[in-house]
Amino acid sequence: MKLGYLRVSTEEQRPDRQIDALAPICDALHIEKLSATAKTRPVYEKIIKSLSSGDIFVIWDLDRAYRSAKDALNELDRLRARGIEIQIASIKIDTSTPHGMLIYTFISGLAEFERRLLSERTKQGLMAARKRGVRLGPPVKMTDTQILAAKQKILAREATIAEMAAFNGVHPSTIIRSIRRLEKSRRD
Give the CA distances from residue 183 to residues 12, 113, 164, 173, 178, in Å, rounded to whole numbers and listed in that order: 40, 42, 18, 15, 9
Nearest to 86 by CA among 124, 123, 55: 55
Residue 29 placed within a domain: yes
Distance CA 85, CA 79 (A): 7
Distance CA 103, CA 184 (A): 54
- Do 73 and 25 fall within a single domain? yes
pLDDT of residue 135: 83
Q: Which residues, listed in sequence order, are joined to residue 3 by a DSSP beta bridge?
A: 28, 57
9, 50, 53, 108: which is the annotated catalytic residue?
Answer: 9
Phi-psi region of 54 (alpha: psi -120 to 50; beta: other; left: phi over 0): left
pLDDT of residue 12: 82
Segments of the chain with pLDDT less than 50? none
The yes-or-no answer on residue 53 being catalytic is no
Phi-psi region of 133 (alpha: psi -120 to 50; beta: other; left: phi over 0): left
Q: Give how many domains the chain has, as a whole number.
A: 2
Residue 137 placed within a domain: no
Backbone φ and ψ of 53, nearest 5°? -55, 135
Distance CA 105, CA 73 (A): 7
pLDDT of residue 63: 83
Confirm whether pTM is higher than 0.85. Answer: no
Range of the structural domain that residue 91 is part of? 2-126
- Do 85 and 19 fall within a single domain? yes
Residue 57 placed within a domain: yes
- Do 16 and 102 fall within a single domain? yes
Predicted confidence (pLDDT) per residue in 129-166, tens digit: 999 988 888 888 899 999 999 999 999 999 999 999 99
pLDDT of residue 99: 94
